[in-house]
Every structure is written in C-alpha cells, then in structure tokens.
Amino acid sequence: MKNTKDFRRRLEGAPLLLDGAMGTELYSRGVYTNQCYDELNTTRPEIVSAVHSDYLRAGAEIISTNTYGANRHKLSSHGLAETVVQINKAGAKIARSAMEKSGHDAFVAGCIGPLGRRLKPLGTLDIKDAKEAFAEQARGLVEGGVDLIIIETMAIAGELVQAVKAVHEVCDLPVIAQFTLSEWNESAYGTTLPLFAAKLHDLDVDVIGINCSIGPYKLLEASQVLLENTDHPIIIQPNAGELEWVEDRLITRSTPEYFAEYTKRLIQNGVKLVGACCGSTPAHISAMEAAIRAISPELSKVKIPVAVKIKPRDFRTDFIKPYREMSQLAKSFDDNQFVFSVELNPPRSPSIKRIIRNVKKLQENGVSIVNIPDGPRASARLSAMVLAQSIQAETGMDVLPHYTCRDRNILGIQSDLLGAEVMGINNILCITGDPPKLGDYPMATAVFDVDAIGLIHIGDNLNHSLDLAGNPIPNATALLLGCGANPGALDLDLEIDRLHRKIDNGACYVLTQPVFNEEIFFHFVEKADIPEVPILVGILPLASFRNAEFFHNEVPGMEVPQPIRDRLKPVTDREEAAKIGVEIAAETLIKSAPKAQGAYIMPPFGRVELALQVIDIFRESDYGRKILVPQE
C-alpha cells in the first residue's frame, strides 16, 4: 500500500490517468446486467482482476475497485445487504493484487457510488442512514488496502457531501469527489457547476470533478467553468460519447482516437486527472495514455527489463577502456579541469559551413567541447548525431550531441547508440526532449517509449555488453552518458529524486538548465549531494529584454528573475542589451563556479561571440585566474 503522501505529492506532478468503465468490460466478457456486478468480487474474482490488468497494461496510473454499487441499499435488492464490508474488502484486494502482479506502480482507488435512494425531503432516506451506509462501505475498502477513495457519479450535492463526511470519519486517505451532469452545466436535479464547487469548497477533499452521463465534447466546456470556480485539482471522466439505442442495444460512438484528442484539450486547459466512464474500454485508456505522453513526456511508462542490474560504485573506472581515454571531456573531468562547453544549434538545412566556422572560432579560444541539441524546441533540424560526426571529422573538436526520447522507440534508441560508438562519438547527453506541441509541428506524433532515465539505462546496458532486454552482446560500447537537471524546478525533491535515478542508471556528469541566481544553484548542489559527479552549470547570455521575457514565460523549466529582467527592460539598443546580457551571465558564472566543474554556455541565436565574451570575463576574474590552466 502506498503512503497517503504519495498520491498528494503525485498531484503536484504531471497529469494522472485513471482507468475506464468496469461494467462495460464485465458485460463484454459475458456477465449480463441481471447479475450483481459487485458480487463478482467474491464469486468470480478472476474476471474482475482481468479487467484491472487490461487497464494497467493500457497505462492507467489509478485503477478503481469494482465496488461502485457495493452499499447496503443497492446490495439489498440482490439479498446481499449483509455482505457490504466483505465485498468491498475483496474488491480492494483484487485491484491491489492485479496491480502488484502487473509490475505497474499504480494507485488503487476505492470506488463509492450513489446509494440508489434519494435523501429527504425529496426522498425517504435519512441523512444519518446515508452517512452510515457510506461509512460502512468505506471501512471495507480501507480494510482491503486502498490508497485513496473516489466518490463518483453523484447527481445530488447533499448526497456527495454526506459521502465525503462519512469517508473522513473512517479514514484520512485522499478523497476524489465527482458529480455527474445531465447537460454540460447542471445535474439532472438542477444543481449547477458553481453550486457543486461551492458545496465541496470547505470540505477536505483533494480533487473534485465530473464523470459519467455525457461525452468529452460537453465535459470540455464544463471543465472550463469548473476551473473558474475552484482551486482544487480537477478530474474529468467522460462517457465514451452520448448513450444511444441502436437495434435494441445501448451503445456509444466515441472512438479511442476521439478520446485522445479531447484528452489533450482537457489537459491543456488545466485538468489534472483524466479517465473514462461508461462505454469506454482499455483501448480508450491506451489512446489517452499516448496522448498524455505526447504532451507530458515525463510520464514514460515503458520500463526496460534487464537480466543483470549493474550499479557501478565508481563511475570513472567501470568502463571497457580507461575512463580518461574515452573522450577529451572524460580526460578533463579526470584531471579536474574546469570545462567550457558551448551549445550550437543544428541548422535547418544541410549546410554546415557556418557551424564549422563557429566551431573553429571556439576551438581557437580554448573551448573544449561543443554541445549539439537534438531537435531543440521540437523543431526539425539537421540530425545532431550527423552534425557531431561532421564537426569531429573536420575539426577534431570534442562533441556532445544531445539525444532525446521524443522521436525514437526503444529499438531505434539502441540502434542509434550502437551507431554512435561506430562513428567514434562517445559523449552522449541523454534527455527526454520537448513534446511536439511546443514546436513547429504540433501534429507530429511523439514516441517517448522511455524518458531520460530509461534512455540512460539502455546506454548503460550497452556499456556492459547487454542489449535493451538484458541479453549479452559480443562487444560493449564506451559511451560517456550525461544527463540534465533543473536547479530551479518547482518540485525540487522530485527533480533531485530523478537525478539520483539517472546517476544510478549510468549517468556520470550533469548539465543544468540556465542558472540566473547562484543561490538557487548552490541550494540545488547541496541538496542533490553528488560530489563525485561533475556538474556543468548552465549559463545563458540574454540578448535583450524580449529574449528574457520569452525564456521566462514560454520555455518550460526556465525562470529569469525579475531584477534581471528589470535590468534589461530600459535598454533598447541591441548591442548594448547583448553587452548587459553578457555581464549578467559572467557574473552568474563567476559566483556559481566554486560549486561546478564547468560551464555549459548557451548563446542566443548562435552568437558564439557572446559565449566567448562570457568566458573572457570569467578568465580575467580572480576565481578564473585561480583555477584555469593557462591557455597556450
């Protein structure tokens, strides 16, 4: 069972995907509607487990127990009113067992649906009786080991409130509270979206949202209204379209592809959790998972199996050839030299003459390695690997091509890394990559079979004569694998946790996102606590106020402090602005250098002269003269 904090912390990260319809799947497997679906937890647990397993394979990160109607009032019509705790406990255990057997790390949500009887004064059910019924069901789910409670498909606000209060009396697990609408703006009983939000505002729930009854199109509009009326994270689980009768059968028409499109729209609008309801299948969830990965690559679900798990204790010795002979970068690290690396974007055409001229200029000024991004900002450019080989062949300059997970599946990744070894490209920076929606081709399909951690793991396998499945291969590679990190990440704990996982999987140096505040960098270095791993601090000379505003507002993971933007704001002359940008960059580098083993400089618009100016100022500084080897 996961810790309660796990789910609440996970809410701060990327979007979460829930599963789809349980009843639809049970019906498709031959369980007819005259049976009690909840009773299957005790009479046919294998069929319920199979549904959970299919949704987990499809990519669901939260699976809901088969207990939607497992309360005393609904079960009484089947003569099962005395089995509430037993059925709910069994449902929780089935879901947890399916999750553990699948190998997928998911949350188990205890599902609580409406009681099937209306509260007074509109109906005959006392509020006290309703609350007791909800509490009884919650106790069974908690005993079965759920991670959270999901209360769903509530059409009456008062009933939803009583359910929430009952759950809180039983446990302190996270609570998702969902209501259902008959139209996009109100329930069958006339309760509006703002009223639902207001009723839940003062209750201790973690997530609120809408499920069932209507399809993605209308719930997209509803989600926009809900987001305006609450500060809670939002969950949306539409039906697979509008329900309709066709030849005496109740069906829905929304395809998985249609769901995928609306998944993107919901998340881009600010919805935090998505799933599906009546009429949906694992195919819908699989399509939604692919859509989420396309816009949230950190959610890679593919895990690379390995026959042998190797975690080197000393990253400088665990290679097929001496560490310092792998590349000039490795030698510099081994000699504890301060490294200057400058980033050059690949061109949008086959011509590389300008790039080669810039490389030679950098080489003449003591820059030891060139960084080459891989389709930066999800744009179509010359292959970073091809450009790296050309630079190395024509100039002898050490190269560090970036390699992203966006455009290749796990087979292509292995092929490319083997090819890098053949071409003599030993330095590889392993990054997840920007999703296509950020670039010029938002319609492009992202792959993201793995994220940067999985990519490093594949490369580390190859370094140990293992293919991506852990099978022995005749010859090992000698790839010096690096990774990225963001010292200014909003969730620094998560960023550092991922950094440690990258290092555990084979990364042996770190390049950071641009740093504009040395205190943030120092805090990151201290908290990360990786003294044995070289860190190159990211330095970006800003070209203008507009350049600073762009990076601050439109580039994920970048933050340019207000004082720096204010310093550039009054400057209208292009060259004067660039000069100030260089000064700011040099100041940041000088202050950050004591905690780094190098600088990763990213000149805007390919202006290498700005990078060289930053380096010159650093060399003339007291700290620079102290640590740098004199240039010949």
Higher pLDDT pick, 32 / 456: 456
% of the chain exceeding 70 in pLDDT:
88
- 194 with 82, same domain? yes
Q: Where is 535: in which H helix or E strand? A: strand 535-539
SS3 category, 358: helix
Report, as an integer, the average pLDDT of 211-235: 86
- Domain presence at residue 618: no
Neighbours of 350 (CB within 10 A): 7
Each residue's pLDDT tens digit, 56-74: 999 999 999 999 999 999 9
Higher pLDDT pick, 257 / 61: 61
Burial 387-403 (b: 16+ CB within 10 A, else e): bbbbbbeeeebbbbbbb
- Domain presence at residue 616: no
DSSP 197: H
pLDDT of residue 613: 96
Each residue's pLDDT tens digit, 98-127: 999 988 889 999 999 999 888 887 778 899
- 84 with 200, same domain? yes
- 368 with 235, same domain? no
pLDDT of residue 224: 87
- 116 with 240, same domain? yes
Q: Where is 581: in which H helix or E strand? A: helix 574-592
The domain tally of the chain equals: 2
pLDDT of residue 300: 47
- Helix, strand, coil shares of the chain as percentages rounded to 5? 45, 15, 40
d(CA 570, CA 577) in angstroms, rounded, equals: 9
- Domain presence at residue 560: no
- Domain presence at residue 89: yes
pLDDT of residue 44: 95
Q: Which of 78-92, 346-360, 551-565 has the lowest mean pLDDT?
A: 551-565
pLDDT tops 70 at residue 378: no
Alpha helices in 442-544 (DSSP H): 452-463, 492-504, 518-528
pLDDT tops 90 at residue 298: no
Residues 6+ apart with CB under 8 A from 231: none
pLDDT of residue 416: 95
Residues 6+ apart with CB under 8 A from 160: 151, 154, 177, 179, 196, 199, 200
- Domain presence at residue 377: yes
d(CA 452, CA 405) in angstroms, rounded, equals: 7
Mean pLDDT (the chain, rounded): 86
pLDDT of residue 620: 94
The domain spanning residue 505 has which CATH number? Answer: 3.20.20.220
- 468 with 366, same domain? yes
pLDDT of residue 632: 44
pLDDT of residue 302: 46
- 50 with 162, same domain? yes
pLDDT tops 80 at residue 32: no
Q: Which residue has the tokens 């140096």?
A: 509
Higher pLDDT pick, 11 / 303: 11
pLDDT of residue 18: 96
- Domain presence at residue 583: no
pLDDT of residue 261: 81
Higher pLDDT pick, 361 / 13: 361
The encoded tokens of residue 247 equal 């030849």
Report, as an integer, the average pLDDT of 409-413: 89
pLDDT tops 50 at residue 250: no
pLDDT of residue 311: 45
pLDDT of residue 606: 87
Does residue 24 contact residue 280 with C-beta atoms inside 8 Å?
yes
- 277 with 388, same domain? no
Look at residues 470, 505, 537 and tell me which one is the last residue of a structural domain. 537
- Domain presence at residue 104: yes
pLDDT of residue 343: 96
pLDDT tops 60 at residue 493: yes
The encoded tokens of residue 401 equal 């091509």
pLDDT tops 90 at residue 268: no
Say if residue 383 is exposed, middle or buried (CB neighbours under 10 Å; 0-12, 13-18, 19+): middle
SS3 category, 204: coil
Neighbours of 60 (CB within 10 A): 28
Look at residues 474, 509, 537 and tell me which one is the last residue of a structural domain. 537
- Domain membership of residue 77 as a residue range: 4-296
pLDDT of residue 304: 45
Residue type, 11: L
Q: Please report, in angstroms and rounded to a whole number, the separation of the first and last CA atoms in the chain.
A: 62
Q: Which of 371-375, 484-488, 491-495 has the lowest mean pLDDT?
A: 491-495
Each residue's pLDDT tens digit, 161-206: 999 999 999 999 999 999 888 776 777 777 788 888 888 887 889 9
pLDDT interval class at 557 (50, 70, 90): low
- 241 with 342, same domain? no
The domain spanning residue 33 has which CATH number? Answer: 3.20.20.330
Angstrom distances, CA of residue 119 to CA of 112, 139, 182, 209? 17, 22, 19, 22
pLDDT interval class at 436 (50, 70, 90): low
Each residue's pLDDT tens digit, 94-105: 999 999 998 888
- 358 with 209, same domain? no
Each residue's pLDDT tens digit, 512-541: 999 998 999 999 999 999 998 999 999 999
Q: How many CA atoms lie within 13 A of 545 on its CB side?
A: 12
- 178 with 214, same domain? yes
* Residue closest to 145 by CA, chosen among 101, 100, 104, 114: 100
- 287 with 328, same domain? no
Q: In residues, how long is the chain?
A: 632
* Residue closest to 610 by CA, chosen among 267, 358, 279: 358
Angstrom distances, CA of residue 38 to CA of 44, 343, 375, 421, 553? 10, 59, 50, 56, 49
- Domain presence at residue 553: no
The encoded tokens of residue 290 equal 């692919």
d(CA 622, CA 626) in angstroms, rounded, equals: 6
- 292 with 381, same domain? no
Q: Which of 284-293, 348-357, 479-488 has the lowest mean pLDDT?
A: 284-293
Report, as an integer, the average pLDDT of 400-413: 89
pLDDT of residue 578: 92
Each residue's pLDDT tens digit, 459-490: 998 998 888 777 888 888 999 999 999 998 87
